[in-house]
């Protein structure tokens, strides 16, 4: 394709003003020769093709489009290495290509009509962009979503099996049971963190950030249409916005670090308990001014809760002067109304939750997941008569261990919880004593006792556990049964492989083998799915001296 041809044609229709188009008038003139501050190539002054850079000015880019998004779109069209320059205040961007071929490869001619936006990605309305960001499966029916998630699990399990082929003769390493749906499909999130900022019309609002601050995005979109946000959380967010609009203090601006109002977190539980956490930047506010604000916020939200007919259990304020986004781990919460905790109901138990503690965001579906864990453990009793000791690793507020201990009655003799977050440990201790009359013990005390069948459950953060934890599990001879709960089966695959790989110096101990697995959907409309895998110690695995393990 000749340059002139390309030059004269628009790469997509510009009949509608708001459509993204490529301004090809600039194209030829922008073969960079080292006279522009935009040049990044080390040999930019060279005239030799290949050591120059090509700059394309792309017009009508919505302000909220991130560089990452534009890069991804260009990559889809085989545009090769590209660097994007865009400010969140610009409605255009520059794309820098290393060579002309990258920019206009032979496939371009076929695609010129929809070169930049084949799926309408950039032209989506802000609400659609937000929906695609936080609930990317929203356009699929729920059945299609479940199928999509089951396929994802199959793919990831088959990757696992391919790494250790001796696990099975089939494509999957173990039995995969049919995926289990969430009992609630919309408004299920019991915890949402909202940013206080400005919408596309530059009006103060409270909602979700479209993209991330890191990408230079600071547009906030109201969650009105967000499928996974509860109606109550939406109402609270609106009330917060109304309050801030009337406030003498400005919203916090992530760019220049000025302003007061930063974010609001809403935890609204199945139990009807509601926790609201508001975060502000103190800026120049005196203690007296902050105290006045606390009184005003309390009055406002207590009145609002009465009028909107919900139970405001806990209203907390966090004053944070740091630069990070989100709840600050090292700053206290000031309880300005109600209690410092809320409670949640699940599986006949009542769990205390501190502001920092993790609790599964979809309570009703989490209950289904934990019941499934209970079912798997119960099946072990057929062959195992001894009392069961349950090690709940990454136990959070103790939900899995406590709920199973209560539901499986006498079968569980002892629960040992291990958790990083101190507040969650305190909750877990409280929850253990108030739900079951057994105390959480330490792993150490268990090792001393060394009696009964030991079942370990690990429910780690997304990335899985460190390989040293897997090594410790393999080396702990007392553990013969192991349940792994993962919310990202792709990221957890390495853990699965390390649990089951043949014994080496690096991974001593008899390996485990997967027995069965099941997906449970805790996140309708979103991409994630929980995967539960049951592992057994491989009793047939030959030990070092050629003997079978005992």
Ligand X SMILES: C[S@@+](CC[C@H](N)C(=O)[O-])C[C@H]1O[C@@H](n2cnc3c(N)ncnc32)[C@H](O)[C@@H]1O
Q: Binding residues for ligand X, per CB under 6 A?
A: 358-360, 394-397, 399-400, 418-421, 424, 459-461
Residue (16 or 330) nearer to ligand X, CB: 330
How does DSSP classify residue 214? G
Supply the minimum distance, in Å, between the C-beta of residue 423 and ligand X.
Answer: 9
With beta carbons less than 8 A apart as the criterion, state whether 269 and 363 touch: yes
**For residue 409, what are the contacts with CB-CB under 8 A and spacing of at least 6?**
none
Mode of pairing for the β-strands spanning 479-486 and 530-537: antiparallel
Supply the minimum distance, in Å, between the C-beta of residue 221 and ligand X.
Answer: 27
Residue (243 or 482) nearer to ligand X, CB: 482
Residue (301 or 496) nearer to ligand X, CB: 496
* Nearest alpha carbon to residue 453 among 517, 375, 379, 393: 379
**Which is the catalytic residue, given 121, 344, 423, 530?**
530
3-state class (DSSP) for residue 540:
coil
Torsion (CA) 364, 368, 374, 379 in degrees, nearest 10: 170
With beta carbons less than 8 A apart as the criterion, state whether 21 and 60 touch: yes
d(CA 62, CA 64): 5
Q: Closest CB to ligand X belongs to which residue?
A: 396
Classify residue 547 by burial, with Cβ atoms within 10 Å: 0-12, 13-18, 19+: exposed
Mode of pairing for the β-strands spanning 220-221 and 204-209: antiparallel
d(CA 341, CA 271): 13
Q: Is 476 a catalytic residue?
A: no
Residue (158 or 490) nearer to ligand X, CB: 490
Residue (204 or 491) nearer to ligand X, CB: 491
With beta carbons less than 8 A apart as the criterion, state whether 500 and 514 touch: yes
Supply the minimum distance, in Å, between the C-beta of residue 433 and ligand X.
Answer: 18
Q: Is 93 a catalytic residue?
A: no
Q: How many other CB atoms sit within 10 Å of the CB of residue 147?
A: 13
How does DSSP classify residue 66? -
Supply the minimum distance, in Å, between the C-beta of residue 460 and ligand X.
Answer: 6
Rg (CA), the chain: 28
d(CA 479, CA 494): 20
**Which is the catalytic residue, given 487, 489, 500, 534?**
487
Supply the minimum distance, in Å, between the C-beta of residue 471 and ligand X.
Answer: 14
Supply the minimum distance, in Å, between the C-beta of residue 321 and ligand X.
Answer: 25
Residue (33 or 467) nearer to ligand X, CB: 467
Residues annotated catalytic, as ranges: 487, 530
């Amino acid at each position: 394709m000749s340059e002139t041809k390309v030059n004269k044609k628009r790469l997509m229709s510009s009949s509608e003003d708001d459509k993204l188009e490529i301004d090809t008038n600039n194209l030829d003139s922008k073969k960079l020769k080292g006279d522009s501050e935009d040049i990044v190539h080390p040999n930019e002054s060279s005239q030799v093709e290949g050591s120059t850079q090509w700059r394309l000015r792309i017009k009508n880019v919505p302000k909220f489009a991130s560089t990452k998004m534009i890069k991804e779109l260009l990559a889809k069209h085989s545009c090769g290495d590209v660097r994007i320059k865009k400010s969140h205040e610009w409605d255009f961007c520059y794309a820098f290509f290393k060579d002309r071929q990258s920019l206009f490869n032979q496939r371009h001619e076929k695609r010129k009509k929809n070169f930049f936006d084949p799926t309408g990605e950039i032209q989506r309305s802000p609400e659609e962009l937000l929906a695609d960001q936080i609930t990317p499966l929203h356009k699929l029916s729920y059945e299609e979503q479940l199928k999509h998630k089951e396929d994802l699990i199959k793919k990831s399990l088959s990757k696992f099996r391919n790494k250790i082929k001796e696990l099975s003769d089939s494509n999957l390493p173990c039995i995969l049971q049919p995926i289990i749906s969430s009992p609630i499909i919309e408004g299920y999130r019991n915890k949402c963190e909202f940013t206080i900022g400005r919408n596309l019309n530059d009006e103060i609002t409270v909602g979700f950030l479209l993209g991330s601050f890191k990408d230079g995005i600071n547009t906030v979109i109201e969650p009105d249409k967000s499928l996974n946000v509860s109606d109550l959380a939406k109402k609270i967010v609106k009330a917060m916005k109304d309050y801030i609009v009337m406030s003498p203090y400005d919203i916090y601006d992530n760019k220049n670090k000025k302003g007061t109002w930063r974010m609001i977190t809403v935890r609204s539980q199945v139990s009807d308990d509601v926790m609201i956490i508001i975060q502000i930047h103190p800026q120049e506010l005196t203690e007296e001014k902050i105290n006045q604000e606390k009184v005003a916020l309390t009055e406002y939200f207590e009145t609002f809760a009465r009028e909107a007919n919900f139970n405001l259990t806990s209203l907390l304020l966090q004053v944070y002067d740091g630069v990070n986004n989100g709840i600050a781990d090292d700053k206290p919460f000031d309880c300005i109304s109600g209690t410092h905790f809320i409670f949640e109901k699940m599986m006949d138990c009542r769990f205390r939750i501190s502001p920092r503690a993790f609790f599964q965001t979809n309570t009703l579906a989490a209950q289904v997941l934990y019941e499934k864990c209970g079912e798997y453990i119960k099946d072990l009793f057929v062959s195992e008569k001894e009392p069961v000791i349950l090690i709940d690793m990454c136990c959070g507020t103790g939900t899995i261990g406590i709920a199973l201990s209560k539901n499986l009655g006498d079968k569980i003799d002892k629960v040992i919880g291990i958790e990083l977050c101190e507040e969650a440990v305190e909750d877990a201790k409280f929850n253990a004593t108030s739900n079951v009359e057994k105390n959480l013990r330490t792993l150490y005390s268990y090792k001393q006792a060394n009696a009964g069948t030991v079942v370990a459950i690990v429910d780690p953060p997304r990335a899985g556990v460190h390989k040293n934890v897997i090594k410790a599990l393999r080396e702990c001879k007392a553990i013969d049964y192991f349940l792994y709960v993962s919310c990202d089966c792709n990221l957890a695959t390495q853990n699965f492989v390390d649990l089951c790989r043949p014994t080496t110096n690096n991974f001593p101990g008899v390996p485990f083998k997967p027995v069965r697995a099941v997906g449970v959907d805790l996140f309708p409309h979103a991409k994630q799915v929980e995967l539960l895998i049951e592992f057994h110690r491989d009793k047939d695995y030959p030990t070092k001296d050629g003997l079978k393990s005992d």
